[in-house]
Structure 1
């Protein structure tokens, strides 16, 4: 058992999963994140229309370990099932397309789950770590304001692959492997209307459009907005092609694509906002679980190490913690 804390960079579901497993095993962890709070791509955006899920829209569970964890979260009130009226849209128009998949969301907003997981953790937010380096005996972290943090016995990088690569200079082979992971961007737009749109559709998978997903955010359990709120996700291809477009132009173009798809009048929204996720999802599939240079004490986890889904992120964090604990006990 180490008495020197373990640093975890990133407070998305992967980092929080690793922190939970390590804490349960009796280790002390310290979390760092560049954002104002936890959640990563599972965080929610506060607005005049209430909280909006601009990142992860829902998640599913296939692995028995994640299913068991979900049931605990459900009992604790952190998640609930979302059963939207699902459609698909393509060259032949929009069609009702129900399925048997169980979908889960954080409640009363997606980010509430991560905030609950981080509630008792020692964490430093609004702190962008730019370098991980080895001191005489332990690891130190350097932030963007040139402040040093440490000492730490081990470091877990739980951030998107392009960001993790920059933090792994002390482990060149690990850095080279992570550098090969490509991640796709996603432009997200939220719209809020005074009166509900005249449609039964609450979620839609889209092909052949600038959009690849749209959802009625207010239809999710626990949401209390008095406005009719919608979230639109652009396709990876469209997002790459328009990666540096001003937010106002992104809103205009994606709102136009939304109006073409939904087959009902779309009035001027009372609220509109856009958010660019530079590293929204991995471009390819990997089955690494988590990556490690155990001799150095550096570990890497994230959804991109597995399925690219929320479940994959949680499992990857668990695997990073398992590898670290096994190394300590060896």
Structure 2
């Protein structure tokens, strides 16, 4: 059934998946994101030495429908298999970057970047978005929010889904982008299940479709990230570089080393519902609904679109 204009707040995996399903069904969809680029965790940081996928490292797609979509994305040149992460469920990476994958997904939509939503105002099935920098967009008959739950809670404080949103839990992650000064590096390109506060080390230049200098992306584990959450980025970069160098058996000197903090990186307590609906035209979807994987966010976004379409015409 048809609905009027639909706003999606957050252009990450869930928001983009929802937009694709809604637009395919004839929906009039507009996306808003506070970032300059779409993608959320499908993020890439540029540097003179090459890009760093400094959030999601890869996708593992177990859902048959998404795996069919992956074949189409591969044919379009924005996705490739990552043989170094071979497992029972294949790993995929965006090409030439994770940000490029998100950009390809976002291309068909009306997307407004750099728009931080401050409030969602209005009455049932007639909602407007008020932005932190001034300005208002709307009205929209439906608003789907896909940002991390702590950011979304104020917009649903008066709704029945407020307790479910409050129960969603996240762990942080410090990530470090490192170009070693060492001339000789280990031949391996992936070092998972590390220790001493590290959760992941991978050679960015070892991924499909990448070029640039030899460089590493390092993730701290949840415990270390939590313990050092409020430390300064340069200090965190030094600490993680030293730990990574010990793990790799190389000198810790760097040509480039920058740390980035993700406060809501890993879902540790999901709602265990694919979509949350307030019953008045406001919806919530994202990895906080089904679990902390890109696939979970994609499936939640699709479920939200289906729920919006099933709810039907304006009431």
- What's the TM-score once normalised by structure 2's chain length? 0.94
Aligned to 1:310: 294
The residue number in structure 2 matching 1:127 is 115
Give the CA deviation at 1:208. Answer: 3.8
1:37 touches 1:125 (CA, 8 Å); kept in 2? yes
Q: Does the CA-based 8 Å contact 1:7-1:30 persist in structure 2?
A: yes
Which residue number corresponds to residue 97 of structure 2? 109
* 1:25 alignment partner in structure 2: 25
* Residue deviations 1:183-240 (CA, integer Å, cap 9, x gap): 1110000111366643122112235411111101110011111x11100000111111
Match of 1:290 in 2: 275
TM-superposed deviation, 1:135? 4.3
Q: Give the distance between the partners of 2:37 and 2:24, measured in 1 at CA.
A: 22
Deviation at 1:80, TM superposition (A): 0.2
CA distance in 2, matches of 1:3, 1:326: 10
Q: Which residue of 2 aligns with 1:6?
A: 6
Q: TM-score, normalised by structure 1?
A: 0.90
Report how far residue 133 of structure 1 moved: 1.6
User: Which residue of structure 1 aligns with residue 236 of structure 2?
Assistant: 250
Q: Superposed, which structure 2 residues align to 1:178-327 within 5 Å?
A: 178-193=165-180, 197-225=184-212, 227-263=213-249, 265-266=250-251, 268-293=253-278, 295-327=279-311
Structure 2 residue 131 is the aligned partner of structure 1 residue 147 = no
Task: Give CA-to-partner distance per residue, 1:116-154, whole Å, 9 cap, x none.
Answer: 111121111111101112148610111112321111110
Which deviates the most, 189-198 or 139-148?
A: 189-198
> Taking structure 1 as reference, are residues 6 and 259 closer, same or farther at Cα in structure 2, changes over 3 Å only?
same
Number of aligned residue pairs: 314
2:142 is equivalent to residue 158 of structure 1: no
Q: How large is the Cα RMSD of the aligned pairs?
A: 1.8
SS in 2 for 1:289: coil
8 Å Cα contact 2:153/2:165 also seen in 1: yes
Query: What are the superposed Cα offsets for residues 83-102 of structure 1, whole Å, 9 maximum, x if unpaired?
Result: 22x6xxxxxxxxxxx74441
Q: Distance in 2 between matches of 1:100 and 1:196?
A: 35
Partners of 1:290 and 1:65 lie apart in 2 by 18
Instruction: Give the secondary structure class of the aligned counterpart of 1:308.
Output: coil
* Separation (CA, whole Å) in 2 of partners of 1:192 and 1:136: 52
Q: After the TM superposition, which of the residue ranges 42-51 and 198-207 deviates more from structure 2?
A: 198-207
Partner SS for 2:202 = strand
Distance 1:4 1:82 in 2: 41
Q: Tell me the SS of whatever aligns to 1:31.
A: strand
Cα 1:8/1:136, change in 2 over 3 Å: closer
Alignment check: 8 A CA contact 1:196 1:228 kept? no
